[in-house]
Chains A and B, each alone.
Chain A
């Protein structure tokens, strides 16, 4: 009898990416030589990295049959100006152009649309710009930090691919002891059509610094009945919080329904550092985000919150990792999903306590609220503990919209849709309250209400 070895098929096909194309891309972007070299290095790594396969644990629950990465990459455009900004895009951009914030960065299709930083803040040595400008104005610093410390080229297939094309996004550096009280704002819009976005977010807070950055991602959804041109978003977020520094980072993903969204996001926390990280996700056709926190210095604290609402045929996958490397650190994760229609969410969370990381206090919880019986929520917590004096707990629940609370609210005259909205808002409230800007909270609540009504 013949032995047949079944070779698992990759979930995505990238097609052929040539060195010449990447060089032309770098030239069109006006890259300095070191950045071009890094792109070419990324290309080499990308070619050597096998595409995700269904047999990979992290990709087991993933359906990418409809996603045409090869077509998107074959048609990738050299960096050019933004596409025609539609009315929705203009409205979105206006929110930031006129925002009352110490600094604003906004991109349309990877091209800089708004860039502003208060002179008083700039005078303290704060850098708040995008990748292209940082590559020019702060080359040596950027070269040291860009995908060398936090997220690395070799981390993941989509991290390597990102590095080939990374462009736009935010670079924030806050020097030692500098505190920026009001939230900085960043925004990215992708215009309609077959687009690809490769924003890079790099945040570095030096010792004792403090800042808040609220970053929002959006694009228009294809009109009903229109054949959707696929959009590919492949982002990386790198966060370094120095000794005793404090960062609040909020990222709200409100992509249109044609966007296939892949991100690799990681934070490094040094001694006594504090990170409050709120992730919101209501958009995209498909999202796969790896969100990791490495607690590298003693007594660092990470508070990770997530609010996600999937409807229609959306699939939102979040893989979170809390790595306790140093002793006496605290991490607390709470991710909440609401689902309706045929939507699907997957949360896979892992707490890892390294040898020697005694007095670790780690918690993770995932709560799911299903508004339809056809939706599906997978919740997979995990613990890997290699130290003995630790406190690690986790909890995950999947619940339905219950009849009794609905009846109670309706018995007070609240119509059915409003009652459902109240219950879902209440479900998300403890997480939304952690967003430090009323305007952003309200916009997220409006998106949530829109999904219910």
Chain B
């Protein structure tokens, strides 16, 4: 058995309600790399995103996901997040009555408390109260400045009544505050006009510039997002498996030729 990479998905099989979607997916990433997964509708892209984050509806029937020596699949979603995994949702959920600021502070404090407990043999020391409010406000204001998000954002209810562009910016704002080690972007370009796409992409690039050790996995149907967030590696996902891998040129090739040339013959001839 070869030594584990920093982040590695091995032979991943995933079903939803008994129906197999991922059928032996393999993928590995090193620290700081930007990878893209491209694939047509129904190939399993979102299933991969949700499975990596630990959504309870996705059943892993076989395979492993190893991150930094930890078995990701044994962790709850919140543990995965605290370990450094982040998913920017294609369809972020509205949480009525919970402001962006309140939510982010709760999420950051959960990290601080979990880390303090881990250092203390699993028991939270009584003097750990979380981040002081002024420090939190400073960080939030800085992140909003970098991402060109209006300050009124902080007081709005999370994703409630947000436009498509605002939702995606809120996702990147959360990413900026939570400082993940791996960010998975699930169809972040969907529903965005070109201006919004540019702003969101710039946000991701800025975060990557600030923390070059952060890895990014961009999941997308179209090549256009990859004009803004430039991957070093491109993987093509069809019918639950990676069928082709290459450099940035592969994305351009797909843009030109489509996906059909990669399908197995019996599937291509319909």
Binding site for B on A (CB under 8 A): 403-405, 407-416, 418-419, 422-423, 425-430
> Cβ of A419: which chain B residues have Cβ within 8 Å of it?
78
Q: How far is the CB of A334 from chain B (nearest CB, A)?
A: 13
- Which residues of A sit under 8 angstroms from B14, Cβ to Cβ? none
Cβ–Cβ contact B106 & A422, under 8 A = yes
Across the interface, do B98 and A416 meet the contact criterion of CB distance under 8 Å?
no
**Which of B25-33, B89-97, B216-224 has 4 or more CB atoms under 8 Å from chain A?**
B89-97
* Chain A, residue nearest B96 (CB): A426
Query: Given A405-B93, A407-B77, A430-B97, A412 and B56 touching (CB < 8 A)?
Result: no
Q: Which of A416, A422, A430 contacts B103 (CB 8 A)?
A: A422
B110 close to A422 (CB less than 8 A): no
With a CB–CB cut-off of 8 A, which chain A residues contact B43? Answer: none
Asked whether, in the complex, the Cβ of A427 is within 8 Å of the Cβ of B178, the reply is no
When A403-B57, A413-B107, A418-B106 are in contact, do A408 and B93 touch as well, CB less than 8 Å?
A: yes
Known: A413-B78, A413-B81, A429-B97. A408 touches B174 (CB 8 A): no
Taking residues whose C-beta sits less than 8 angstroms from the other chain, chain B's interface range is: 20 to 34
A423 to B94, CA, bound (A): 10
A431: nearest chain-B partner, CB-CB: B97
26 A-B pairs with C-beta separation under 8 A:
A404-B93, A405-B94, A405-B95, A408-B89, A408-B92, A409-B103, A409-B107, A410-B54, A411-B80, A412-B78, A412-B174, A412-B178, A413-B111, A413-B178, A414-B103, A419-B78, A422-B102, A422-B106, A425-B97, A426-B96, A426-B97, A426-B98, A427-B97, A429-B96, A429-B98, A430-B97
B76 within 8 A of A: yes
| In the complex, chain A residues whose CB is within 8 Å of the CB of B57 | 403
Q: Which residues of A contact B92 (CB under 8 A)?
A: 408
Contact of B78 among A405, A415, A427 (CB under 8 A): A415
Residue pairs across A and B with CB atoms within 8 Å: the count is 79
Q: Which of these, B53, B94, B95, B178, contacts A422 with CB under 8 Å?
A: B95
Which residues of chain B come closer than 8 Å to A430, judged between CB atoms?
Answer: 97
- What CA separation (Å) do A422 and B78 show in the bound complex? 14
Given A412-B103, A427-B97, 5 other A-B residues pairs in contact with their CB atoms under 8 A: A403-B56, A412-B174, A416-B78, A422-B103, A430-B97
**Contact (Cβ within 8 A) A423 B98:** yes
| In the complex, chain B residues 52-85 whose Cβ is within 8 Å of any chain A Cβ | 53-57, 76-78, 80-82
Q: A77 to chain B: closest CB distance in Å? A: 42
Chain B neighbourhood of A423, CB < 8 A: 95, 98
Of B78, B87, B102, B110, the most chain A CB neighbours within 10 A belong to B78
Alpha-carbon gap, A438 to B102, bound state (A): 16
Q: Which of B94, B95, B97, B111 has the most CB of A within 10 A?
A: B97
| CB-CB nearest 5 A-B residue pairs | A426-B97, A429-B97, A413-B81, A426-B98, A410-B77
Give the complex CA separation of A281 and B19 in angstroms: 46
* Bound Cα distance A425, B99 (Å): 11
**With A and B bound together, what is the CA distance between A408 and B55 in angstroms?**
9
Is there an interface contact between B53 and A411, defined as CB atoms closer than 8 Å?
yes
Q: Are A410 and B76 in contact (CB under 8 A)?
A: yes
In contact, A412 and B98 (Cβ under 8 angstroms): no
Any A CB within 8 A of the CB of B157: yes
What distance in Å separates the Cβ of B244 from its nearest Cβ neighbour in chain A?
29
A165–B34 CA distance with the chains assembled, in angstroms: 76
**A414 contacts B95, CB within 8 Å?**
no
- How far is B105's CA from A413's CA once the two chains are assembled, in angstroms? 11
Chain A hits for B55, CB < 8 A: 407
Known: A411-B87, A413-B81. A427 touches B96 (CB 8 A): yes
